[in-house]
Amino acid sequence: MSVDEKTVRRVARLARIKVKDEDVPQLAGELNAILAFVEQLNEVDVSGVVPMTSVVATKMKMRDDVVTDGHKPKDIIQNAPATEDDFFMVPKVVE
């Protein structure tokens, strides 16, 4: 695949990047070099390679999934306008 100057201008317009006319030929060359490298990567056989999510193999630290009250209900409801027995009191919205 080859990128010409018309394509460079179109990509720049779509990306909302202002490109000077004298910079277009240089950008076309750089984009062609990038595409050539990608084509080179397509030739590599990766059929036996497992996809990675990270360069370094890590295992997520897991914790027990337990329900708690946060161990500070008094602090939690301190700024509530109305409370009762460590619960928020709200006005009735359904009749």
Segments making up each domain of the chain, as ranges: 5-42
> What whole-number distance in Å separates Cα of residue 78 and Cα of residue 83?
9
Per-residue pLDDT of the chain (95 residues; tens, 9 = 90+): 789 999 999 999 999 999 999 999 999 999 999 999 999 988 888 888 888 777 787 788 898 888 886 788 888 888 899 999 888 999 889 87
pTM score of the predicted model:
0.49
Burial call 71-87: b when 16+ CB within 10 Å, e when fewer: eeeeeebeeeeeeeeee
